[in-house]
Amino acid sequence: MKLALLIVYFAVMIGIGIYCRKQATDVNGFVLGGRSVGPWLTAFAYGTSYFSAVVFIGYAGQFGWKYGIAATWAGIGNALIGSLLAWVILGRRTRIMTQHFNSATMPQFFEKRFQSTGLKIGSSIIIFIFLIPYTASLFNGLSRLFGTAFNMDYTVCIILMGVLTGIYVIAGGYMATAINDFIQGCIMLVGIIAVIAAVLNSQGGFMEALRGMAEVSDPTVLNGEVPGVFASFFGPDPINLLGVVILTSLGTWGLPQMVQKFYAIKSEDAIKKGTIISTLFAMVVAGGCYFLGGFGRLFSDKIDIAANGYDSIIPTMLSGLPEMLIAFVVILVLSASMSTLSSLVITSSSTLTMDLLREKVKGVKKMNEFELVFVMRIFIVVFVVISMILAIVQYKQSISFIAQLMAVSWGALAGAFLAPFLYGLYWKKTTKAACWVSFLFGSGVMLLNMVAKPLFPTLLQSPINCGAFVMLAGLVIVPLVSLFTKAPNQDMVNAAFACYDKTAPVKQRTALHD
């Protein structure tokens, strides 16, 4: 049954990729779906790119174990900050200004907004480097569940996922990804609800499971017996929990693969509907994942954290479920991972081709649209292969947990780009120098955190907290540096912001006509 479901699932994904190939013949179609993607597809593409095996297997397990039921706050933050506020604050302005610049990637936005080729090249290098560990974390998370369900070798899992995702992305580009994301999102919504119900039922229901959590205590965390803390409102460690909320919620504002979803929105109506759909999706999926992980300690007799790590918690919780439900969970996590992977490989390949090679390689400069798309498809293969190799090495060498890989990637990317992108959309006085400082600070601090943790204060030795710190610091650094560095050319700034001043006809229920 499990194998049959997988075969059907893979056939549908590949079929959609082939079906959408006619819409992926030029750069605009391959990367942005022709900027004609409706609210449901855009919202689900945003949500499924947001939540993957990293959340379901890595974060839900680790933070549910550490913070108990209070880990649900991370899911709530993802919905309200990472989805609702992101759409409200970034959605419309991103769509308007990127279309005004005719930019298809975040590096192109930086180049045209600040009239700097250097910013485009610098940001594209950061994107390519730091998306790779994130992709490796997707492979790792998926393999844990495949191992539980099929007793399949880790390397085989990686190759299978990478090849199948590559096929439908290469064939159909962004539109194939968006349609598949919608299907995958529906699976995730139904699956997470079914899994929560089944796991809680196995513990005697919600109230009985909550009572069991209230009886759990952990002296190694609490320095003493404090029964009930893992079932409390803020859990045993609210400060570090806040770092998780900030990293996983605010981080989406600066991640190129997330922001790029706003480039493709079709209309004003699509933005309004997409905001609601995306928020509800995040509340169910992210809230459900962390809520489920919060009950992990009820299975402590079956879990050996020291031997198998936090990534083994969720698979252990699911191992006792009926075979049919486990098969559905495998499809759920596969859906989450493949949708995120497809978003990452399109972002990376388009950035490398359009923003780095086209700028520096003469042969690429002269290429037409068809040839550029062909090069992007080649780099999708390259990116997937590099990520697969890194994932295998990471697993066999036991370098780090899933959550740590994601934290390094999110922290570096969002720490570098969040503030320059946000201020670039809203504030005319943002300077090129401020962007450079943010790029170097965000990526540099996270690299230093990887190789020299003892140099950091205890609180910031965690890549989670360090990532949250560089994001918030960037929001202060960019305006400060902008005030003390050379002001941007006023004509250039006025030309950039002129797109917001264009008039557009609306229905009278939105605004009264003279």
> pLDDT tens across 214-272, in order?
887 654 444 444 557 777 888 888 999 999 999 889 999 999 888 888 887 877 788 88
Residue 355 clears pLDDT 50, i.e. is over it: yes
DSSP letter, residue 254: G
CB 195 within 8 A of CB 292: yes
- CATH superfamily, domain at 2-112+120-380: Sodium/glucose cotransporter (1.20.1730.10)
SS3 call for 265? strand
- Burial tier of 155 (Cβ tally within 10 Å: 0-12, 13-18, 19+): middle
Q: Read off the tokens for 105.
A: 């990637």
Query: What phi and psi values does residue 249 have, to the nearest 5 degrees?
Result: -105, -55
CA-based R_g, the chain, Å = 22
pLDDT digits (tens, 9 = 90+) for 330-353: 777 777 777 777 778 888 888 878
pLDDT digits (tens, 9 = 90+) for 135-172: 776 776 666 666 656 666 777 777 877 788 788 788 87
The domain spans of the chain are 2-112+120-380
Report DSSP letters for 195-245, one per residue. HHHHHHHHTTSHHHHHHHHHT---HHHHSS--TTGGGSSS-S-HHHHHHHH
Comparing CA positions, the residue from 51, 69, 465 lying closest to residue 283 is: 51
| Residues above pLDDT 90, as percent of the chain | 27
b/e 160-176 (16+ beta carbons within 10 angstroms → b):
bbbebbbbbbbbbbbbb
In terms of residues, how long is the chain?
A: 514
Q: What is the pLDDT of residue 224?
A: 47
CB 333 within 8 A of CB 53: yes
CB 253 within 8 A of CB 410: no
CA–chain centroid gap for 26, Å, is 26
Interval 271-276 mean pLDDT: 91
pLDDT digits (tens, 9 = 90+) for 23-36: 767 777 777 766 66
Residue 400 clears pLDDT 60, i.e. is over it: no
**pTM for this model (two decimals):** 0.86
